[in-house]
Chain A
Amino acid sequence: DVKVTQSSRYLVKRTGEKVFLECVQDMDHENMFWYRQDPGLGLRLIYFSYDVKMKEKGDIPEGYSVSREKKERFSLILESASTNQTSMYLCASSLDRSYDANTGELFFGEGSRLTVL
Chain B
Amino acid sequence: AQSVTQPDIHITVSEGASLELRCNYSYGATPYLFWYVQSPGQGLQLLLKYFSGDTLVQGIKGFEAEFKRSQSSFNLRKPSVHWSDAAEYFCAVAPRGSSYKLIFGSGTRLLVRP
A residues apposed to B, CB below 8 Å: 4, 31, 35, 40-45, 48, 50, 58, 90, 92, 94, 97-100, 102, 104-106, 108-111
Known contacts A97-B100, A99-B100; 6 further A-B pairs (Cβ under 8 A): A90-B44, A98-B100, A99-B99, A104-B100, A108-B44, A111-B43
Tell me the bound Cα distance from A80 to B104 in angstroms: 27
Closest residue of B by beta carbon distance from A110:
B43
A109: chain B residues at CB < 8 Å are 43
B101, A104: Cβ atoms under 8 Å?
no
A110: chain B residues at CB < 8 Å are 41-43
B101: chain A residues at CB < 8 Å are 45, 48, 58
A43, B41: Cβ atoms under 8 Å?
no
B residues apposed to A, CB below 8 Å: 4, 6, 9, 32, 34, 36, 41-46, 49, 51, 90, 94, 96-102, 104-107
17 sampled A-B residue pairs with Cβ under 8 A: A42-B4, A42-B90, A42-B106, A42-B107, A43-B102, A48-B101, A92-B44, A99-B51, A99-B94, A100-B97, A104-B49, A104-B94, A105-B49, A106-B44, A108-B43, A110-B43, A111-B43
A100: chain B residues at CB < 8 Å are 96-98
Tell me the bound Cα distance from A111 to B49 in angstroms: 23
Tell me the bound Cα distance from A90 to B34 in angstroms: 18
* Residue in B34, B90, B97, B98 whose beta carbon sits within 8 Å of that of A104 in the complex: B34
Shortest CB-to-CB span from B50 to chain A, Å, is 10
